[in-house]
Amino acid sequence: MSTKDERPVALVTGGGSGVGASCAQHLAKAGHRIALVGRTRTRLDETDRLIGTDSQLIIADLSRPEDCRRVVREVLEVQGRVDVLVNNAGFATQAGISETSEELMRTALDTNLLGPMCLISELWNHFTERGTGCVVNISSLASSDPFPGFLAYAASKSGLDSLGRSIIAERPVPGIRAFTINLAAVETDMLRSMFDHGVVPPEACLQPGEVADFVMECIRGAHDDRQGESIVLMRS
Number of neighbouring beta carbons within 10 Å of residue 148: 8
What angle in degrees, to the nearest 10, is found between the helix axes of 208-220 and 18-29? Answer: 50
Residue 153 designated active-site: yes
What angle in degrees, to the nearest 10, is found between the helix axes of 18-29 and 41-51? Answer: 30
Q: Is 223 helix (H, G, I), strand (E, B) or coil?
A: coil
Q: Which of 153, 155, 181, 215 is catalytic?
A: 153
Beta bridge partners of 10: 34, 84
Handedness of CA 24, 27, 29, 32 (dihedral sign): negative
Known catalytic residues? 153
